[in-house]
Amino acid sequence: AALADSYTVTVSGVAYDDWYLPSKNELNQMCKWQRGITGAALTTLTTVCVGGILNSGTGASGFGGRYWSSSDNNLNFAWTQSFGDDNTGFQASDGTKSVTNNVRPVRAF
C-alpha cells in the first residue's frame, strides 16, 4: 500500500500522485470487467469473478496471478484476488502478508 501511495507518474507535464491499493471489492469489479462480465453481474458487489471471456482491450490483458488488496482479514492476513486465464477469479482471505503477490494500484476517477 505504501508503494502505491508513493507512486507518481508525469504525463504531458501533469503529475499524477493519487494512486492507492484497491479494496477486495474494487479488485473483484476489475476482475469481472477483465472477463467481459456485464450488466447487473458487473455492478453487483456480491457477484464473484467467475467465467466470462477474457477482455483483450486496453488495460485488461496481461494481468495474471494473485493481487494484494488493501482489505485486511486480520493482523497477519489480507485479501487477495486472482486474475488469470483459468476462469476462477477467486478471492482468498489467507494471503499471508509475509509472501510476495502482485499489486495493481489504481487512481480515483
Mean pLDDT of all residues belonging to the chain: 81
Q: Residue 22's closest CA among 75, 96, 83, 74?
A: 83
The pLDDT value given to residue 57: 67
The pLDDT value given to residue 91: 82
The pLDDT value given to residue 23: 93
pTM of the model: 0.78
The pLDDT value given to residue 2: 73
Q: Residue 76's closest CA among 57, 56, 99, 58?
A: 99
Model confidence pLDDT, tens digit, residues 13-63: 998 888 899 999 999 888 888 888 888 888 887 777 877 776 666 666 667
